[in-house]
Amino acid sequence: MNKPWPSSRRGRVVAVSTALCLGVASSLSACATLPSHSDPKAIHSYAPGESGTTVPGPQKGDAPDEVLRGFFSASAHPSHSHKAARAFLTSKSSDAWKDGNDAFIVQQLNINSSGQPLDDEATFDVSGSTIGVLGDGGTFTPRSGSYRSQFKLKKVNGEWRISSVPEGIILQSVDFEQTYRAYSVYFLDHTGRYLVSDRRWIYSQQDTIESSLMSLLASGPRQELAPGIGTALPAGTSITAKSDKVGGSTVDIKGLSQVSSDDRQKIAGQVVWTLIHADVRGPFTLMADGAPLLDQAHKSLSASDVSDLNPEPPEMNTLHAVADGSLETISASGATGDRGPFGRDGKILSAGITPNGGLAAVVERDNTADDDEGRGQSGSDSSVLRIGHVMDTDADTRNSLEEADGAAQPIVRGRTLTRPSWSEDGTVAWTVADGKEIHRVEYQTGTDSKSGSGSVKNEYIVDNDALRAQLRNDDENNDHKISEFRVANDGVRAAMIIGGRVFTAIIAPGEGGKSRIMSPRELGEVFVGDTATSLDWQPDGSLLIGTQSQDAPIWSVQPDGSDATRLTSNNVQAPVSAVASTRNELYITDSRSVLQLERNNSSDTATQNWREVPGLQGIRAQPIVSR
């Protein structure tokens, strides 16, 4: 059956600018009630560091409902097995309370009396909207549903205390936002060449954060990412970290006696970039089994020592566009058509350009294709993928490149092909044929990406059985066609739109080294529903999503679903059919033209207006940023 999106929620205006305020409606289509019995497991795979924060305890004369609210607020402080929250319980209840289950994050807790309270006993029904679960190791999983439970209180020495409390942790979203912070813990892609962020939520009110981050690094990636990423740290490794009195931090790693120098360099990259992106002050002294991790000359490390593993993508500010069927470069002076094979015939439907701007993968209308293996028929309803050089060079170089490209030979055909997406190193392009077949095309150039011959090294249909299985379980009668497929800069995550719904997945090596799609899950169920029309990855690893909702046409969303921001819709007319971004600018195509918005560090964007892009005024072009 179709997955319904209640009319009361479609297009709902929800202003979201801080983590987890996901705008959950009061009536939810799903019900995810906190289990009353389950085997306890730690919320974190590490022990939070000591905290100097003073958590308010129960106050003399508090009413029973005030004791309950104090308990929920104190539950956001995990130190010493939630010692602060246990102060609101009776001694017997405190001893019996199992606080180790996953923490359910609930928005707007409602506390109401259940029956008439007695002089020394009271029962309360507690309910709210569940918006996520904080799991093992600080992982966040979106979860829309409802929470309902019952709490009993009684007077102890004249003061109300909780005598019966369900096991597990309930965190109010406002308390969670104030006491937890998201950090990136860095692991390696399957090639060992790139760092991949694993976003974790850590208790922020501890004196130092280094040890928690290093414990998470030693424990490995979260389960859903594990098929696509790894670590240079061997199993059984232990890591401790501390701030130095003279500045910087010292990291002690044990268990690396058999690790190669190459892997030690990768470990250094994982550690240093994890700490840098957590705003931990350097330099970083890395020790392995009592000796410098690398060598004596590199005992103290900074970003420059591990720059080859810098997870931040290179800055790309050149804007391109597909306009009137041709590829153009956009500058302050206007639009300039590509002077190569992709700027003349007016048949281009979509395109992607490599990070260095040298190669373009384009989808064109194919009027000459034969019905090859059941894919693509001749005529205007057929599409073809071609790859070739972007011709922004002089005439002599341009002629040699055109010859080397072999007129950009057809690679993939289909009735429809999604907008091409490139890997970070510009060697692999992705597209989806007919909404079903995910194609991976490995393209090989000469010694220089802007010169020499180019050819397809390998091309195949990716195994996406895991995605198909989930979609069948969700809705066995839906056709499940992929209309957008975008690969992140890290090359490990993929985002896609299927029937207006946003999904993310992991690209992992499979049989014979071929890529496969793993760990698919829906991302935007709560705030986007089935209204998504376009998406792309942003430089910071979040997603920019365009929708057909006039009330909420543009969203910025973290890949774990924990943070969703509805961007200003001033001067935007839905639907938003294309999106792109740089570190400084956002680009969208609405129902009229291509618009841009300057990024603003302020959370208040309500007064900002989207403005037309010079050179593309009044044109419904497709904006493209090299990536």
* CATH code for the domain defined by 319-368+381-393+406-625: 2.120.10.30
CB 366 within 8 A of CB 376: yes
Q: Is the pLDDT of residue 54 over 80?
A: no
Where along the chain do the CATH 2.120.10.30 domains lie? 319-368+381-393+406-625
pTM of the model: 0.86
Q: What is the mean pLDDT of residues 4-20?
A: 30
Higher pLDDT among residues 299 and 32, named by residue: 299
- The helix (run of H) or strand (run of E) holding residue 132 is strand 121-134
* Residue owning tokens 């990768």: 266
Contact 11, 549 (CB under 8 A): yes
- At 242-290, the pLDDT tens digits run 998 888 999 999 999 999 999 999 999 999 999 999 999 999 999 999 9
Taking only the tens place, the pLDDT of each residue in 530-540 is 999 999 999 99
Average predicted confidence (pLDDT) for the chain: 84
Please indicate whether residue 301 or residue 314 has the higher confidence score (pLDDT): 301
Q: For 410-429, what is each residue's pLDDT tens digit?
A: 899 999 999 999 998 889 99
Residue 449: the pLDDT is 44
Please determine, for residue 492, whether its predicted confidence score (pLDDT) is greater than 90.
Answer: yes
Residue 605's pLDDT band (cuts 50, 70, 90): low
pLDDT of residue 299: 84
Which of 7-16, 209-218, 492-501 shows the lowest per-residue confidence on average (mean pLDDT)? 7-16
What pLDDT is attached to residue 527?
Answer: 81
pLDDT in tens, 365-391: 987 655 444 444 444 579 999 998 886
β-bridge pairing 410-414 and 169-172: unpaired
Q: For the chain, give the percent of residues with pLDDT over 90.
A: 63
Between 68-82, 392-406, 586-600, the lowest mean confidence (pLDDT) is in 392-406
Domain with CATH 3.10.450.50 in the chain: 64-167
**pLDDT, position 159:** 96
Spatial separation of the C-alpha atoms in residues 237 and 470, rounded to whole Å: 35
* Ramachandran area for residue 261 (φ above 0: left; ψ -120 to 50: alpha; else beta): alpha
Q: What percent of the chain has pLDDT over 70?
A: 83
What's the pLDDT score for residue 311? 94
Range in 147-161, 216-230, 309-323, 527-541 the model is least confident about: 309-323
Distances (CA, A) of 389 to 43, 323, 537: 50, 18, 23
Q: Do the beta carbons of residue 460 and residue 439 sit within 8 Å?
A: yes
Give residues with Cβ within 8 angstroms of 396, minimum separation 6. none
> Helix, strand, coil shares of the chain as percentages rounded to 5?
15, 35, 50
- pLDDT of 264 reads 97
CATH architecture of the region 64-167 = Roll (3.10)
Task: Indicate if the pLDDT at residue 122 is higher than 90.
Answer: yes
Going by pLDDT thresholds of 50, 70 and 90, the confidence category of residue 8 is very low
- pLDDT band (50, 70, 90) for residue 49: low
Q: How many whole angstroms separate alpha carbon 270 and alpha carbon 277?
A: 11
What's residue 185's pLDDT?
A: 98
Q: Is the pLDDT of residue 33 over 60?
A: no
Report the C-alpha gap between 13 and 531 in whole angstroms.
13
Average pLDDT over residues 492-517: 95
